[in-house]
Amino acid sequence: MNIVITGSTKGIGLGMAREFLKRGHDVVISSRRADAVDTTVTELRAEFPDRRIAGQSCDVVEYAAVEALWECAVRELGQVDIWVNNAGRDGTKVPFFALPPEDYVQTVQTNVIGMMHCCRVVIPGMYKQGSGKIFNMEGFGSNGQVRPAIAPYGTTKYAVKYLTKALALELKNTPVQMCYLSPGIVVTDMLVPPPDQRGEGWERSKKILNILADTVETVTPFLVEGMLKANKNGAAVRWLTPGKVRRRFATSLFRKRDIFGPLGF
Ligand X SMILES: NC(=O)c1ccc[n+]([C@@H]2O[C@H](COP(=O)([O-])OP(=O)(O)OC[C@H]3O[C@@H](n4cnc5c(N)ncnc54)[C@H](OP(=O)(O)O)[C@@H]3O)[C@@H](O)[C@H]2O)c1
Tell me the window of 8-16, 93-101, 198-206, 225-233 that interacts with ligand X (CB under 6 A).
8-16
Q: Which of 5, 19, 82, 86 forms a contact with ligand X (CB under 6 A)?
A: 86
Q: Name the residue nearer to ligand X (CB basis): 223 or 230.
A: 223
With CB under 6 A as the rule, give the number of residues binding ligand X: 30
Residues between 199 and 258 that touch ligand X (CB under 6 A): none
Tell how many helices (H) and how many strands (E) occur in the chain. 9, 9
Q: Do residues 249 and 211 touch, judged by C-beta distance below 8 A?
A: yes
Closest approach of ligand X to the CB of residue 93, in Å: 13
Q: For ligand X, which residue of 189, 217, 225, 258 counts as binding (CB under 6 A)?
A: 189
Asked whether position 28 contacts ligand X by CB under 6 A, the answer is no
Options 104, 153, 158, 180, the catalytic residue: 153
113 is an interface residue for ligand X by CB under 6 A: no
Measured CA to CA, the distance from residue 237 to residue 98 in angstroms comes to 35
| Phi and psi at residue 213, to the nearest 5° | -85, 160
CA dist 140 and 145 (Å) reads 7
The window from 56-64, 73-81, 128-136, 241-249 that contacts ligand X (CB under 6 A) reads 56-64
The least CB distance from residue 213 to ligand X, in Å, is 7
Number of neighbouring beta carbons within 10 Å of residue 190:
15
What residues does 85 pair with on adjacent strands?
Answer: 136
**What binding mask, one character per residue, do residues 162-181 give for ligand X by CB under 6 A, x or -?**
--------------------
When binding is defined by CB under 6 A, the residue of 2, 110, 136, 177 that contacts ligand X is: 110
Are the CB atoms for 158 and 144 separated by under 8 Å? yes
CA 167 – CA 169 distance, rounded (Å): 5
182: number of CA atoms within 13 Å, CB side?
21
What is the contact mask toward ligand X in residues 124 to 163, using x (rule: CB under 6 A)? -------------x-x------------------------
Q: How far is the CB of 42 from ligand X (least distance, A)?
A: 16
Q: Name which of 60 and 121 has its Cβ closer to ligand X.
A: 60
Whether 63 is catalytic: no
- Sign, CA dihedral 185-190-195-201, equals negative
* Cβ atoms of 95 and 148 closer than 8 Å: yes
What whole-number distance in Å separates Cα of residue 205 and Cα of residue 195? Answer: 15
Chain contacts with ligand X (rule: CB under 6 A): 6-7, 9-13, 31-33, 36, 58-61, 86-89, 110, 114, 137, 139, 183, 185-186, 188-191
